[in-house]
Amino acid sequence: MNLEQARFNMIEQQIRPWEVLDTQVLSLLAMVRREDFVPKIHRDLAFADLEIPLPPHSHPSQCMLSPKVEARLLQDLAVQKHERVLEVGAGSGYMAALLAHRAAQVISLEIEPSLAAMARENLQQAGIDNAQVLVADAAKPLADSHGPFDVIVLSGSVAELPEHLKGRLAVGGRLAAIVGTEPVMSATLLTRVGEQAWRTEQRWETVAPRLQHFPQPSSFRF
């Protein structure tokens, strides 16, 4: 496989048509080697328009999101060099790597210890030293030492925006999450505009695997 041609095709045929036009985001996708964050067994799928499963395969959320979804979340967040970022769902570390190139510091939480170890190794091999991967269940209230953050991104879907994560945003901070239930979910951008005030925007539609342990919507219907 010609990796550089495959990377170019991913950007031009998948990501640009999905309205990702921020030149800084596109340049970052061309620079960060996505294939180095993909399990070897799936290396040929590194640039495919699909979610790539990650070991130990015990939950659907253990995957890399499709490249176009990762890119558009990154574009929506518009991370700045001075900002502190929290990621929920480290996976293989690829999204943390993208964020780290744009932020001052990234803390990525991963519920699966073996995935956290993989993400740490991948980030180290990529020479990224401003991203830290911690084993934690982000569906539970975070330790007081975590936050406030300028940016929070959920690398997976939730039924509704988590209140305890909203409270970890600094004023002016943004939280990006894929919210809702199948067959249609909305990529949602929450901005904290005051101490007790938030603005919510539904940006685009997609579907993503559910993050573990976050509340599920009630199945009861009248």
Active centre residues (catalytic):
61
Among 38, 36, 45, 40, CA closest to 14: 45
Distance from C-alpha of 102 to C-alpha of 98, rounded to nearest angstrom: 7
Q: Are 37 and 99 in contact (CB under 8 A)?
A: no
Q: Residue 91 in 3-state DSSP? A: coil
Q: Which DSSP state fits 30?
A: H
Among 98, 120, 124, CA closest to 109: 120
